[in-house]
Structures are given as structure tokens and as C-alpha cells.
Amino acid sequence: MKDADLKGRGGAAFPAGVKWGFVAGTTPADGQRVVVANGDEGDPGSYIDKHLMERRPHLVLEGMALAAFTVGAQRGFVFVRSEYPDSLPALRRAVAEARAAGLLGANVLGSGLSFDIEIHEGAGSYVVGEETALLASLRGLRGTVSARPPFPAARGWHGRPTLVHNIETLANVPFIAAHGASAYRALSPGATPGTKLVCLNQRFVTPGLYEVSFGTSLRTICDGLGGGLKDGHTLKALQVGGPLGGILPASLLDTPLDFAPLAEHGCMVGHGSIVAFDETTDMRALARHLMKFGADESCGKCFPCRVGLRRGEELLDRPGPVDRAKLEALLETLELGSLCAHGDGLPAPIRSLVEHFPHELELV
């Protein structure tokens, strides 16, 4: 896994092999470790996990089983967002089929190893996509973020070492196990090995889910696969990676889909959604919408996020010019004071809009 350099597909891009090493290196008092698949896909414009859970559930379960074998886990959970009613039965059928085939349960394939998986339905919270909030919800508690350390790899589900991975990350594991790290690296011409699933929103001529190699330019994805924008509209900007991702103007469409090139422009790969905005989009309205989304979805645990995002919405909602100094101070407070990526990530798209569309935001 370390040789393959599989990076997490949920947004943080943390090296999966390193995370596995943390969990495997623990010495739990009761010998129990846990694997959790995070299927609480809440980013607007994303339906990658939905596709994998409904169309390729055995691929996800196999990735979990391989991870469990490697780190020494005996129990697994798939946490599915409640807005995906078709994902739950698909996964439950797949678990039943795997058990019947001897691939899950006690003494898997006569190996002496035991590993089983439960499917858990979420409760409709965006922030529960964050791993500590997800684990709280999985234990029947309110889905709020916890300070780290301790990290879940050391102290997670009911205090046990817990490996938490995004669904797409786990779906990459069987290929690596079957073909090796070199074959996985060969899938990509970019700096990051492997491929990435991306979602194109309804503004494209051919919206949908596509698998591309890292290093593929956004122009190739948007104009080649997406066919450009429908109804003769022209592209004004893209938001890549969900509501916490930066916003890229059309002039930067030749940027490769990879972590470092996007980071240079204040953007990220994130979960893989690509949302297009055409020439009719009011960028101040977009900034206000992002702040409102963040405020509405805040878990409320930390003061900067709970109050700061609502103040940001109000600042952009007032008629007339926006005080740039106040906005910058608010964004800095969110970045430095928020407990998790929800609060400290939302300044990124606002900063993009400030940089590329200052006149539309009416900054003074």
C-alpha cells in the first residue's frame, strides 16, 4: 500500500498505507481493531460513493476485507448517508452474499481469520462526513466533531483503533492487491498514482460520472468528456472538490486534475465533484450561498464555525459594498479557530471569489 501511494479520496488525500501502519502498529487492550467505510457522501454535485455502493458493492467490501486482514481488524462498518435509500439494500445484499460464500464471518475461507461487516444508516448530517463526527454517530451519539489527537487510528470506535476510509479509497485496494504497486502507479501519467472518479454537474452537455487518470487537464474533462456547457452557455468558473474547494476561473481550465497543481490555485481534488458555473452566475450570490450552506450544516460544536459562517452570510447578504477588511478578518478567524475542515475549509472558495471576481463581490 505504501509503495502504491494510494491517497485518500475523501478530500484530505492522506496516504492510505501510512494510515494502515498507524492502526496495525497499535496494541489495543482487548485486541480489537475496526475498519469503517465512510459512505456519508454529502458534497453537492458528488455521487461517486453512491455509484460504488449501488453498482460495485462487492468491490467496496473486498477493499474493507483486505484492509482488515492487513491491520488485524475483526469488525467493520459501512456508514451510508440516509439520502441514499438504494445503497442500503445493495450493500446488505452484498454482505449476505459474501457471508454465504465464506468471504465474511468467522474463519474466512478456512484461514483462521474472522471479519464481518455491518451496514449503518446515517441521519442526514453533512458534518458527519468528518471522521470523528462519523464515529460519534456510529456509536449512537450526536454527530459532532471532536478535537484530535487522539486520532481514530489510535482511539476510534468505542476507544478501539479504527481505520476510517472513504468508499472510493477502499474500492482502489483490490486492484493494488491483485496487480501490485507498479501496475497501479502506471495508471497515471501525473504525480499522483491511480485514477480518480469525477462527477460533472447538470450544466454540461454530457453530465455524469467519469474515471480519469490523475494529471488529466480540466479542459479535457470539461470539454472532452463533458462536451462543454449546454444551451450555448460559456464557462465562467468551476468549483472542484465540493463546497470546501476553491473556485477556478475559466482562464485556468488547463490546470491538471492533481493535488499540487490545484493547490497552487487555492483549489483541491476533494471528493471529485466538478460543478460548472456559466456566464449568468452572480458570484456574490454564489459566495452568499456557500456561507449559508456552511452555516446551515455546521454541527455547532465550535464557536468560530457556528457564529462565523452566519456572520459571513449576513455580511454578503447586506445591500451595497462589502467591507473587504472585515471579510478577510472573518475568513482568518474561521481558518485558525475552527475545530474541523468544515469551518477552516469554507474560506477557500470565498478567497477564490475575492481573487478572481472582486468587482462582483463589490469589495471596498
- Contact between 39 and 85 under an 8 Å Cβ cutoff? The reply is no
The CATH code that applies to domain 283-361 is 1.20.1440.230
What whole-number distance in Å separates Cα of residue 331 and Cα of residue 115?
A: 45
Strand partners, 36: 77, 164
pLDDT at residue number 27: 86
Q: Which residues contact 21 (CB under 8 A, 6 or more apart)?
A: 2
16-182 folds as Rossmann fold (3.40.50)
Tens digits of per-residue pLDDT, 292-331?
Answer: 999 998 988 898 899 999 999 999 999 999 999 999 999 9
What whole-number distance in Å separates Cα of residue 152 and Cα of residue 184?
A: 27
First CA to last CA across the chain, in angstroms? 50
Strand partners, 237: 249, 277
Q: Grid coordinates in use for 35?
A: 475498519
Intervals of CATH 1.20.1440.230 along the chain: 283-361
pLDDT at residue number 158: 93
pLDDT at residue number 89: 97
pLDDT at residue number 148: 85
Intervals of CATH 3.10.20.600 along the chain: 195-278
Place of cell 467519469: 210
pLDDT at residue number 10: 83
Domain 195-278 classification at class level: alpha beta
What whole-number distance in Å separates Cα of residue 77 and Cα of residue 45?
A: 25
- Contact between 52 and 180 under an 8 Å Cβ cutoff? The reply is no
What parts of the chain have a pLDDT lower than 70?
none
Strand partners, 113: none
> Where does 24-149 show beta strands of DSSP type E?
34-39, 75-80, 116-121
